[in-house]
Structure 1
Amino acid sequence: MRALFLVPLLLGSSALAGETKPGPGEVELAALYYYAEQKQQDRLEAETNRLRLKYPDFVVPADVYSPAARQVDESTLWALYEKNDFLGIDAEIGRRQSENPEWRPSEDFSGKLARRKQRVDMMAATARKDWMGVIEAAKSLDPSSETEVDLVWMLLDAYAQTGAKDALTDVYRGLLFREGDKRLPDQQLLTTLQKSTRDFSADDVRKAMGLLATSPMLQAVLQPVELDLTRKEVADFNADEKRQTPIGESEVGKLRLAAEKGDRPEDLALLGWYDLKLKAPESAERWFKAALVKHRDENDAKGLYLSLAAQNKQDEAYAVAEQYLEDLSGDPEFLMNALSLRFSKPDQPDADVKTVTAYSNAILATSNADHAEILAWYAYNSRQYEASKAWFAKSIDWESAPVRVKGLALSLLRLGEKKDYAALEGEYRDIYPDIWAEIKVATPPKGRRSIAIDMPVASIGGTGYLAHFKAKRFSACIEDISAMEARGAVSADAMLIKGWCHLGLNRLADARNAFEAALGNGRTQADAAYGAALTLLRGRLTDDAEAMIGMYALSEKRDREVRAEIYFQRARSAFDHKQYQRVLDALNARAGLVAEPADLSQLRGWAHYHLGHRAEAQAVFARLNTHLYDPAAARGLAISSDYPTR
Structure 2
Amino acid sequence: MKSILMAVVLASAGAAGVAGLSFGVPDGLTKGMPRLGVGTDDVATGSTDDAPTVAAKQSRIEIAQIESGQAKTTPVVETERRPAVDESALRYFASRGDTARLNAEIARLRALYPTWTPPENPLAVPVNEDKQLEAMWALYSQSRYADVRAAIAERRKQDPQWTPPADLVDRLDVAEKRAELITASNAGKNEDVVRLGAETPSLLTCSDADVLWRVAEAFVKTDRVQRAKDAYGYMIDNCTDAPVRVATVQKASTLLGYKDMQDLLAREHAGPDGVKEFDAIRSDLARRFVGEGDEDPEITVAPAYLKLVEKLVTDEGLASDALLLGWYHLRRDQNAAAEPFFRKARAVEDSASASQGLALILLARKMPGEAEDVMYAWRTTSDQAMQTYLAATTNLLALDPPPKLEAKVLNRIAQVTLEEKHPETGEQFGWYALAMDQPATAEEWFAQVLTWKADYEPAAYGLGVARLRLQDEAGLAAVKQAWGDRSERIARLGEQDATDKKTEVISERQPRLARTGQRVVAREVVEEVAARPQRIVRTVRHAANTGAGCRTTRNPAGLAPASALTLGWCLMERNRPLEAAQAFEVALNGEGRTRSDAAYGQSLAYLRAGLTSDAAVAATKAKLDGSRGAELQTAILADRAVSSFRAKRYRETIGYLDQRSQLRAEPTDLMILRAFSYKNLGMRVDAARLFEALGETGRQDAIRALAEMRAEDRRPN
Q: TM-score range by the shorter chain?
A: 0.3 to 0.5
Normalised TM-score (structure 1): 0.44
Larger gyration radius, structure 1 or structure 2: 1
- Identify which of structures 1 and 2 has the higher relative contact order when contacts are C-alpha pairs closer than 8 Å and 6+ apart: 2
